[in-house]
Amino acid sequence: MNHASIIDGVRLCKAQRYRYANSDMDDLETQLKKANENGARFKIIVTDGVFSMDGLVAPLDKICDLADRYDAMVMIDECHAAGFIGSKGIGTLEEKNVLGRIDIITGTLGKALGGAMGGYTTGKKEIIELLRQRSRPYLFSNSLAPAIVGASIKVFDMLAKDTSLRDKLQSNTNYFKTGMKKAGFDIIDGDSAIVPVMLYDAKLSQQMAERLLEEGIYVIGFFYPVVPKGKARIRVQLSAAHEKEHLDKAINAFIKVGKELNVV
Amino acid sequence: MYGKIKEYLQAELQQIKEEGLYKKERIIVSPQDAVIKISTGEEVINFCANNYLGLSSHPSVIQAAKDTLDTHGFGMSSVRFICGTQDIHKELEHKIAEFYGTEDTILYAAAFDANGGVFEPLLGRKMPLYQIH
């Protein structure tokens, strides 16, 4: 499932669209073959780096191999990865060892990288040059506000200096996941800072989120149509700003409310 | 005139509520952080922000924003290609390219715009595109 902005962007262009099942490489290959049979001149594979509802990382290494074999470009959306996935925090392209093999990377300054607003596309120079000439949101929207630009420069300087923030985020994520698993919760064990606590039932996900808020823990329950039917969950997002005591309080609140609602 | 459409919109809103898809906004009265204060006065630990690195209210980031207000002003009142490109816009674009090891970067007002504005300029009619679902 892609972000709404990718879906809208694709709707605006005249390209022929083929869809493949999430991270299913056999299906992707089938679709690439189909495109070739239909005489496609250029091809581009589009995926999220981290899928925001389950926190899983896309198999970019395999996607890049298929892209090479079928002469397709690769574009990734790094909104939920930039700044903290991978040992230097570059993102899923570092984690999956495909630095230099991704043709187009989009990302946001509105999440890990400062959180205000703004986004970017980075990649091959001809692509960026053409976007400056023809990309309508760039041509017809105001420049990013100077204060955001200045603060974002600072953010990239901080990330270049050391990896302490992403290291802390990773240790927070591991700590939380370990505690939740030990308590018997069914979590999706991905490689990102998103930890979905699976409840499967939509109503239960709402009840549990409400009760957790009463316990001082602010989380959101997601259910259909945001996630597939019968896959309702509470999505927990960790931060380098969290301290151990915050994580302990959250785990304890989950256990308390989870017992009340017969989840654990 | 705001006539018949009023009832139509009210019905639409009612339907969204009945389907359980109505999105309410919780009011926060503090900066974004690990602990936030909500309008009811309670303090809660936040586990639903995308504030992964804790930079949303990091003192160094806030200071850099303040400093830039002094040196580069508040707004540009322009799109990039008329009179809206400052030295810092180019500097940030270069830093992002350096971070990824790519050749160049283009900034947008939002990532929604980055994704929404990439396909149409690049893809001709015969160019297929793969999308996951």
Across the strands, what pairs with A237?
A194
CA angle A187, A188, A189 (to 5 degrees): 105
Over residues A65-89, mean pLDDT: 97
Chain A residues in contact with B48 by the CB 8 A cut-off are 218-220, 235-237
Across the strands, what pairs with A196?
A235
Chain A interface, best mutation among B45, B71, B87, by max A CB count within 10 A: B45
DSSP sequence for chain A: ---HHHHHHHHHS---EEEE-TT-HHHHHHHHHHHHHTT-S--EEEEESB-TTT-PBP-HHHHHHHHHHTT-EEEEE-TTTTTTSSTTS--HHHHTT-TT--SEEEEESSSTT-SSS-EEEEE-HHHHHHHHHH-HHHHSSBPPPHHHHHHHHHHHHHHHH--HHHHHHHHHHHHHHHHHHHTT--B---SSSEEEEEEE-HHHHHHHHHHHHHTTEE-EEE-TTSS-TT-EEEEEE--TT--HHHHHHHHHHHHHHHHHTT--
Interatomic CA distance for residues A13 and A24, integer angstroms: 25
With 50 as the cut, is the pLDDT of residue B16 above it?
yes
Which SS3 state, helix, strand or coil, does residue B103 take? Answer: coil
Candidate from A1, A111, A241 with C-beta closest to B133: A1
CA angle A239, A244, A248 (to 5 degrees): 105
Across the strands, what pairs with A44?
A73, B129
Provide the pairing of β-strand A119-123 with A232-237. Answer: unpaired
CB pairs under 8 A between A and B: 398
Chain A residues in contact with B74 by the CB 8 A cut-off are 145-147
With 60 as the cut, is the pLDDT of residue B3 above it?
yes
Chain A interface, best mutation among B130, B131, B133, by max A CB count within 10 A: B130
Which SS3 state, helix, strand or coil, does residue B133 take? Answer: coil
Q: Chain B residue with minimal CA distance to A119?
A: B111
Interface ipTM: 0.94
With 60 as the cut, is the pLDDT of residue A200 above it?
yes
CA angle A172, A176, A181 (to 5 degrees): 150
Smallest CA–CA distance, residue B32 to chain A, in Å, is 9
Read off the pLDDT of residues A138-188 as tens digits, 9 standing for 90 and up. 999 999 999 999 999 999 999 999 999 999 999 999 999 999 999 999 999
* Residue of A3, A23, A33, A52 with catalytic role: A52
Name the more confident of A8 and A52. Answer: A52
Read off the pLDDT of residues A30-51 as tens digits, 9 standing for 90 and up. 999 999 999 888 899 999 999 9
Read off the pLDDT of residues B78-122 as tens digits, 9 standing for 90 and up. 999 999 999 999 999 999 999 999 999 999 999 999 999 999 999
Chain A interface, best mutation among B47, B78, B81, by max A CB count within 10 A: B47
* Residue of A43, A96, A111, A177 with catalytic role: A111
Give the single-character DSSP code of B90. Answer: H
Across the strands, what pairs with A198?
A233
Candidate from B67, B78, B103 with C-beta closest to A143: B78
For A123, counting Cβ atoms within 10 Å of its Cβ (0-12 exposed, 13-18 middle, 19+ buried), the class is: buried
Across the strands, what pairs with A218?
B46
List C-alpha distances in Å: B33 to A110, A241, B1, B49, B101: 14, 7, 45, 8, 31
Contact A79, B111 (CB under 8 A): yes
Q: Distance of alpha carbon A148 from its chain centroid, rounded?
A: 22
Over residues A110-125, mean pLDDT: 98
With 80 as the cut, is the pLDDT of residue B126 above it?
no
Interatomic CA distance for residues A25 and B123, integer angstroms: 23
Question: Which pair of tokens denotes residue A130?
Answer: 């053409």
